[in-house]
Amino acid sequence: MASLAGGTAVARWGAARVSQAVLCAAGLVLCAVPLLAHTMPAHRMSLVFSIKEMGVPLGGVLAGLTVPGAA
Protein backbone atom coordinates (compact mmCIF):
# COMPACT_ATOMS: atom_id res chain seq x y z
CA MET A 1 0.00 0.00 0.00
CA ALA A 2 2.81 2.41 0.83
CA SER A 3 4.52 1.74 -2.51
CA LEU A 4 1.34 2.55 -4.41
CA ALA A 5 0.88 5.85 -2.60
CA GLY A 6 4.61 6.58 -2.67
CA GLY A 7 4.87 6.43 -6.44
CA THR A 8 2.05 8.91 -6.85
CA ALA A 9 3.49 11.23 -4.20
CA VAL A 10 6.96 11.15 -5.79
CA ALA A 11 5.51 11.89 -9.22
CA ARG A 12 3.53 14.82 -7.84
CA TRP A 13 5.97 16.44 -5.38
CA GLY A 14 9.38 14.92 -6.15
CA ALA A 15 11.58 12.45 -4.34
CA ALA A 16 13.35 14.97 -2.09
CA ARG A 17 10.16 16.49 -0.70
CA VAL A 18 8.54 13.11 -0.10
CA SER A 19 11.68 11.84 1.65
CA GLN A 20 11.78 14.95 3.84
CA ALA A 21 8.11 14.56 4.75
CA VAL A 22 8.49 10.88 5.62
CA LEU A 23 11.64 11.44 7.69
CA CYS A 24 10.10 14.41 9.52
CA ALA A 25 7.01 12.35 10.31
CA ALA A 26 9.17 9.50 11.60
CA GLY A 27 11.13 11.95 13.76
CA LEU A 28 7.94 13.36 15.24
CA VAL A 29 6.72 9.87 16.05
CA LEU A 30 10.04 9.04 17.72
CA CYS A 31 9.85 12.24 19.78
CA ALA A 32 6.69 10.91 21.35
CA VAL A 33 8.54 7.85 22.69
CA PRO A 34 10.22 8.75 26.03
CA LEU A 35 12.76 5.90 25.72
CA LEU A 36 16.03 7.51 26.79
CA ALA A 37 14.76 9.29 29.91
CA HIS A 38 13.23 6.12 31.34
CA THR A 39 16.22 3.84 30.77
CA MET A 40 18.93 6.16 32.08
CA PRO A 41 19.86 6.29 35.78
CA ALA A 42 19.45 9.74 37.32
CA HIS A 43 23.15 10.20 38.12
CA ARG A 44 24.16 9.63 34.45
CA MET A 45 21.34 11.57 32.81
CA SER A 46 23.24 14.85 32.33
CA LEU A 47 26.21 13.08 30.71
CA VAL A 48 24.04 11.07 28.32
CA PHE A 49 21.93 14.02 27.26
CA SER A 50 24.98 16.23 26.71
CA ILE A 51 26.52 13.55 24.46
CA LYS A 52 23.19 13.23 22.64
CA GLU A 53 23.02 16.99 22.04
CA MET A 54 26.58 17.05 20.64
CA GLY A 55 25.67 14.52 17.92
CA VAL A 56 24.18 16.98 15.42
CA PRO A 57 26.97 19.60 15.53
CA LEU A 58 29.60 16.87 15.42
CA GLY A 59 27.89 15.32 12.40
CA GLY A 60 27.93 18.72 10.69
CA VAL A 61 31.65 19.08 11.36
CA LEU A 62 32.35 15.59 10.02
CA ALA A 63 30.26 16.27 6.92
CA GLY A 64 32.10 19.56 6.36
CA LEU A 65 35.41 17.77 6.56
CA THR A 66 34.56 14.79 4.35
CA VAL A 67 32.17 16.11 1.67
CA PRO A 68 34.58 18.55 -0.06
CA GLY A 69 37.17 15.82 -0.40
CA ALA A 70 34.61 13.39 -1.77
CA ALA A 71 33.31 15.95 -4.28
Question: Over the stretch 22-64, which tens digit does the pLDDT of each residue have?
Answer: 888 988 888 777 776 778 788 888 888 888 888 889 988 999 9
Q: Are residues 46 and 71 located together in one domain of the fold?
A: yes
Instruction: Give the domain extent around 68.
Output: 37-71
Check if the beta carbon of residue 48 is closer than 8 Å to that of residue 36.
yes
Q: Are residues 26 and 56 located together in one domain of the fold?
A: no
Check if the beta carbon of residue 18 is closer than 8 Å to that of residue 6.
yes
The number of folded domains in the chain is 2
pLDDT at residue 68 in the model: 87
pLDDT at residue 5 in the model: 81
Q: Are residues 13 and 41 located together in one domain of the fold?
A: no
* pLDDT for 69 beyond 80: yes
Check if the beta carbon of residue 21 is closer than 8 Å to that of residue 6.
no
Predicted confidence band of residue 13 (pLDDT cuts 50, 70, 90): very high
